[in-house]
Structure 1
Amino acid sequence: MCGIIGAIAQRNVVPILLQGLQRLEYRGYDSAGLVVVENNELQRIRSTGRVAELTTRSAATSGHIGIAHTRWATHGVPSERNAHPHLSSNLIAVVHNGIIENYEELRTRLTAQGSVFTSDTDSEVIAHLINSYYARGNSLLVATQAALAELVGAYAIGVVAADNPSQLICARKGSPLLLGVGIDEHFIASDVSALLPVTKNVVYLEEGDVAEVSLHGYRIFDAKGQAVERPVHVSKLSNASMELGEYRHYMQKEIHEQPQALADTLEGVCNSQSLIPGIFGAEAAAAFEQVESILILACGTSHHAGLVARYWLEEIAGIPCTVEIASEYRYRVSVPNPKSLVVTISQSGETADTLAALNHAKALGHPHTLSICNVPESALVRLSKLHFLTRAGPEIGVASTKAFTTQLAALFLLTLVLAKQRGRLSAEKEQRHLHALRHLPSAVQLVLKLEPDIAQMAERFTDKRHALFLGRGLHYPIALEGALKLKEISYIHAEAYPAGELKHGPLALVDKDMPVIAVATNDALLEKLKSNLQEVRARGGELYVFADAGTRFHSSEGVHLMQMPEHAGYLSPILHTIALQLLAYYVALQKGTDVDKPRNLAKSVTVE
């Protein structure tokens, strides 16, 4: 959520800022704006429309230094007056990601001192607070450092001053920010994708860092104000990976990228003949020897991945597993177990609630931490002793697809490694599982061939407003994920239940206008699921059944069958997930929604 880009160069930076904002649109936003310094004046342009509208408004604007922002509303409604950048006395301009928790106290004090506020945001206090120190004769760097010392909360900021066109200040705490390194030009951004057109050389700021950026270089200071060096990374992302190509939406593109994403994620493992703990880090073997249970912390889709993993870990590895929603975990009194492995899952590695939950777990005395993440330089990876990097590549669509399935693949690997270390995985079973993993990309490709049939099924949802998803056992979390996808992008109210719970309440909702989507897998619970579905038909409900091969389901009046190409055993959740992703996508097309940018949602949730 929210996006930042800034630049200082010998050329006009407005096109750089606008192009960067366009690349950050996937994060979710409701307004956009930029400011440049020209002739010792701040030129600010803001819009509540898309970045394209801001581009039109900025046609006559130019400058060699500037900052820009896409805002996702937290404090104050979406409006031009609440859009960033925020100014103080037309002298200081600030863009901000995050939430300032003590903004009301600061606002009261600054107002009493003569500051005039023009927005409802928490972010505006940063501009006035920096200005209050800058007006005392401090440099822009010192004024910013002094202001940051008073802030409580999370922030990534970019700061410029009208009378200082040679310097850009930035800082981060609890929200990601990085520097882009060029030749006689430098940049800041909240996401490396915004900088790919201008540089691949990036410096990831650490927690509490403040940076002074100029044309010819930069200086970084840590939270204690000491000058520090941070390594320069060469991003492996390419411009091509960010382009839409032949697809109608990024979500469709990313659904189709899943065979390759899974192959890339599993490459190092599937090319070997055995599983070793070292795939999770050099210290993994020793840590896993001490582990007696698993605690998984995650949010949203990643939480659903954790719920699937609980079935795997307890059945295959024989290890107790608890899965907690990260945003709830740190606000309840829990009983820590130092012999638990704390597993955090996040696509971005910057999810605020998941980071806070990890820090809370460590503060409670959990020494064993493992992150599963798609971004190697993210805060989550840096805070964890062990990690496994999924190789999903950039995921632009807000509704997660390939990040989720690669998380599942990583969690299945963790299950197998722990099972082997605990003496519960014979050599024969290990080879069978490795064969299934090698075959997984091909199995996914077969599911993708169902796309025309699923698109046709989706036409029946055009006038629907509600839906129920049902699953049993290992596939109940997949029903949860299917319901989440449908509600995220089609705005159909969708809920998921274990099929056995139908008669304990949800059956009251079933009628001809309530589609019921069932995940029917060829496993030990199949016959019980069939009985549950008969309860739906007996009450006039319309069934949409995604059935494995061999389940002996048949289409009939009120029963619409989608025959899956094969049964993948323990990996079946991945195949059924992809079918439900396609269903959600095509229902959203029928509804005419903005598939890649669903209302009110953000891709990377970097505030609590």
Structure 2
Amino acid sequence: MCGIIGILGAAPVAGRLLEGLRRLEYRGYDSAGIATVTDGSIERRRAAGKLDNLAAVLAAEPLPGLIGIAHTRWATHGAPTEDNAHPHATEHVAVVHNGIIENFKPLRDELIAKGHRFASQTDTEVVAHLVSEQIEAGIDPVEAVRTSLKRLHGAFALALVFADHPDLLIGARLGSPLVVGYGEDGEIYLGSDAIALAPLTQRIAYLDEGDWVVITRAGAQIYDRDDHPVERPVTLSGATGAMISKGNYRHFMLKEIHEQPIVVAQTLRTYLRRLEGELAPPPEDIDLASVRRVTIVACGTSFYAGMVAKYWFEQFARVPVDIDVASEFRYREPIMEEGGLALFISQSGETADTLAALRHARASGQKIAVVVNVPTSTMAREADLLLPTHAGPEIGVASTKAFTCQLAVLAALAASLARAKGRLSQEEERRIVRHLSEAPAAINGALAYDEAIEALAATIAPARDVLYLGRGPDYPLALEGALKLKEISYIHAEGYAAGEMKHGPIALIDDAVPVVVIAPSGPLFDKTVSNMQEVQARGGQVILISDYDGIEAAGEGCVATLTMPKVHPLIAPIVYAIPVQLLAYHVAVAKGTDVDQPRNLAKSVTVE
């Protein structure tokens, strides 16, 4: 991981490669580098840390050349140092790589035994040496790459350039996305996503699983996993060529939090017929009425959206739901029943664990539905039922607007499944549509408490540990609130089902541990308050997030309260996501951490 761009150009490429990397910064990374070919040799510039460090190196030592590759790295093998930064190179070839070469150790040992000397700790460097060994034996670079690919196990997107072939760029993908871009004046590009190539071209071809591509001045020839020449459709990406701006906001994350009323409304517009008080018609290519069981699979924040959806599906549609963390799903050997719908949730649509789980479920005879924010992603292209969110590009590594848009889609899907099963009357359908339609305005109301939450952050920032409590659909929100705080402030935080406190975690309570309680008024409010009072009785510092009625009933004795708009329980998880996001954001700002690009994290996780 994490970002790739390659250019076979009609003009010098180093500046455009650097610009492409800047467009990929949102993915998260810890080093970067560029390699070009000129006068029969490969030249590299690399730097640990942010892209400004690489830019300074390039300013001091410019790179000539009409062909080149570039990479932002998120460390998997080896520390984030200049030596481990991509591109990795030998005298003959340079390579950049997203993913993991799982069998790099035996390959490395074999190559060392043959006299190869490695300069890094990475798995990627074995690719350069495998290809280089064959070139030194007189084998054509294209054939050298073809045979080397057969020896690699794992997941990868690769881009390679060659010292003695200044008009040759080769790419390959297996489990990690790669696109080919077609530009003007015969220029051709490689990128890990369309955003990296947006200023260069809108004409994109997506490589399929196992594809590899040979790019020359004559054009791009794509081969499938069996090395047969194939054509992949060229589409218009729709990615904007303008750099995404923070506007007047201090961070992308804050901007994206404040975009949620708009993007949730945009998303719901796809799934609701508000004026008619109806859900949008079900897709023709899948029979929801025949669904006997739903299996939800996701990672991180998307997994917590799936946990909320489990409550909705079972409550409204009365369909049993299993839910798994994607990295664990295949390995418990799940029983996949006939008539099952496997639902996969991913912001990027490229999450390696989730994509592998999707393919396992398909092989087990399940119908596949995906909720994604990128409708051209691999998961979207492999689905039977595509359920896009309309959050727009999310640059902050910690997901915010993608999460609430996922919840909006999942709520509409749960209602559609209930309708297909005959469990919703027309009046009940109208009520659900009305409540969902109220969500954007309620989110806007929650955002009005931004300043109050900023003031509250001073209570949380000194803490070493924070607990979040919730019940029912608000339990996943407790987990999500804790995750957000961990991700961007680096404070240890845990989320619990409030009723579980007395079964162990209550031992952690003292006056130095803030406890955030998410408790909108509703069916589970009184039980949540009882659990909250157990915390207060032991000196816990409770911060209660509820509506006016809830604060009036239970706010006494809390160190702080946050009053949210009063909403129907259906949309409470969507609305109450706002205060936990803002709280994490303001605590991180108070602590001075890197909000948009927190340490060790990547936006698009393309390794298992």
Q: What range describes the TM-score normalised by the shorter chain of this pair?
A: over 0.9
The offset of 1:554, in angstroms, is 5.8
Change in Cα spacing, 1:578 to 1:215, as seen in structure 2 (3 Å) is farther
Match of 2:419, as an amino acid? Answer: K
Corresponding position of 1:75: 77
| 2:146 is aligned with 1:145 | yes
What stretches of structure 2 of length at least 5 have no aligned partner?
none
| 2:549 is aligned with 1:527 | no
CA deviation map 1:168-194 (0-9, x unaligned): 100101001111210121211112211
Corresponding position of 1:541: 540
CA deviation map 1:502-524 (0-9, x unaligned): 11111111111100000011111
The offset of 1:8, in angstroms, is 1.3
Give matches, 1:31-46, under 5 Å: 31-46=31-46
The offset of 1:465, in angstroms, is 1.2
Corresponding position of 1:182: 183
Match of 1:347, as an amino acid? Answer: Q
CA distance in 2, matches of 1:323, 1:194: 34
The offset of 1:282, in angstroms, is 2.8
Instruction: Report if aligned partners of 2:31, 2:47 keep a CA contact under 8 Å in 1.
Output: yes
CA distance in 2, matches of 1:383, 1:588: 38
| DSSP 3-state at the match of 1:478 | helix
The offset of 1:557, in angstroms, is 5.0
What stretches of structure 1 of length at least 5 have no aligned partner?
none
| 2:444 is aligned with 1:442 | no
The offset of 1:276, in angstroms, is 6.1
CA distance in 1, matches of 2:304, 2:57: 42
Change in Cα spacing, 1:43 to 1:390, as seen in structure 2 (3 Å) is same
Instruction: Report if aligned partners of 1:542, 1:559 keep a CA contact under 8 Å in 2.
Output: yes
CA deviation map 1:100-154 (0-9, x unaligned): 1111111122222222211111111111111122233333222111110111111
Give matches, 1:408-419, under 5 Å: 408-419=407-418
Give matches, 1:193-204, under 5 Å: 193-204=195-206
Match of 2:455, as an amino acid? Answer: Q
The offset of 1:278, in angstroms, is 5.2
| DSSP 3-state at the match of 1:330 | helix
CA distance in 1, matches of 2:271, 2:372: 17
Corresponding position of 1:568: 568
CA distance in 1, matches of 2:563, 2:32: 45
Corresponding position of 2:268: 266
CA deviation map 1:37-74 (0-9, x unaligned): 11111111111121111011012222111001111111
Give matches, 1:412-561, under 5 Å: 412-551=411-550, 552-553=552-553, 555-561=555-561
Corresponding position of 2:300: 300
Instruction: Report if aligned partners of 1:251, 1:596 keep a CA contact under 8 Å in 2.
Output: yes
Match of 2:125, as an amino acid? Answer: E
Match of 1:402, as an amino acid? Answer: K
Residue 191 of structure 1 is aligned with which of 175, 193, 202? Answer: 193
Instruction: Report if aligned partners of 1:133, 1:146 keep a CA contact under 8 Å in 2.
Output: no
Instruction: Report if aligned partners of 2:271, 2:409 keep a CA contact under 8 Å in 1.
Output: no
The offset of 1:277, in angstroms, is 7.5
CA distance in 1, matches of 2:21, 2:314: 45
The offset of 1:226, in angstroms, is 1.4
Corresponding position of 1:236: 238
CA distance in 2, matches of 1:299, 1:366: 22
The offset of 1:200, in angstroms, is 1.9
CA distance in 1, matches of 2:493, 2:43: 46
Corresponding position of 1:118: 119
| DSSP 3-state at the match of 1:254 | helix
CA distance in 2, matches of 1:371, 1:451: 33
Corresponding position of 1:290: 290
Corresponding position of 1:582: 582
Q: Percent identity, aligned pairs only?
A: 48
The offset of 1:556, in angstroms, is 4.5
The offset of 1:549, in angstroms, is 3.4
CA distance in 2, matches of 1:354, 1:554: 41
Match of 2:34, as an amino acid? Answer: L
The offset of 1:328, in angstroms, is 0.5
The offset of 1:240, in angstroms, is 4.8
Structure 1 residues 298-307 or 99-108, which shifts more? 99-108
The offset of 1:495, in angstroms, is 0.3
The offset of 1:239, in angstroms, is 4.1
The offset of 1:555, in angstroms, is 4.7
The offset of 1:217, in angstroms, is 2.3
CA distance in 1, matches of 2:553, 2:7: 59
Residue 225 of structure 1 is aligned with which of 211, 224, 227? Answer: 227
Instruction: Report if aligned partners of 1:269, 1:275 keep a CA contact under 8 Å in 2.
Output: no
CA distance in 2, matches of 1:398, 1:553: 37
Structure 1 residues 410-419 or 377-386, which shifts more? 377-386
Change in Cα spacing, 1:478 to 1:289, as seen in structure 2 (3 Å) is same
CA distance in 1, matches of 2:189, 2:16: 9
Change in Cα spacing, 1:555 to 1:276, as seen in structure 2 (3 Å) is closer
CA deviation map 1:548-595 (0-9, x unaligned): 232224655543110002223211101001111001000000110000
Corresponding position of 2:602: 602
| DSSP 3-state at the match of 2:81 | coil
| DSSP 3-state at the match of 1:530 | helix
CA distance in 2, matches of 1:441, 1:385: 29
Change in Cα spacing, 1:558 to 1:430, as seen in structure 2 (3 Å) is closer
Give matches, 1:82-161, under 5 Å: 82-88=84-90, 90-161=91-162
Match of 1:17, as an amino acid? Answer: L
CA deviation map 1:4-47 (0-9, x unaligned): 11111111111111111111112111111110111111111111
| DSSP 3-state at the match of 1:199 | coil
Give matches, 1:352-367, under 5 Å: 352-363=352-363, 365-367=364-366
Structure 1 residues 74-83 or 108-117, which shifts more? 108-117
CA deviation map 1:425-468 (0-9, x unaligned): 11011111112222221111111111111111112122111100
Corresponding position of 2:48: 48
Instruction: Report if aligned partners of 2:297, 2:303 keep a CA contact under 8 Å in 1.
Output: yes
CA deviation map 1:202-225 (0-9, x unaligned): 111111111112345211111111
| DSSP 3-state at the match of 1:151 | coil
Corresponding position of 2:348: 348
Instruction: Report if aligned partners of 1:547, 1:564 keep a CA contact under 8 Å in 2.
Output: yes
Change in Cα spacing, 1:278 to 1:178, as seen in structure 2 (3 Å) is farther
CA distance in 1, matches of 2:217, 2:293: 52
Corresponding position of 1:402: 401
Instruction: Report if aligned partners of 1:275, 1:417 keep a CA contact under 8 Å in 2.
Output: no
Match of 2:459, as an amino acid? Answer: R
Instruction: Report if aligned partners of 2:277, 2:434 keep a CA contact under 8 Å in 1.
Output: no
The offset of 1:268, in angstroms, is 2.6
Match of 1:7, as an amino acid? Answer: I
CA distance in 2, matches of 1:42, 1:378: 33
Instruction: Report if aligned partners of 1:549, 1:567 keep a CA contact under 8 Å in 2.
Output: no
Match of 1:93, as an amino acid? Answer: A
Corresponding position of 2:23: 23
Change in Cα spacing, 1:499 to 1:276, as seen in structure 2 (3 Å) is closer
The offset of 1:267, in angstroms, is 1.5
| DSSP 3-state at the match of 1:357 | helix
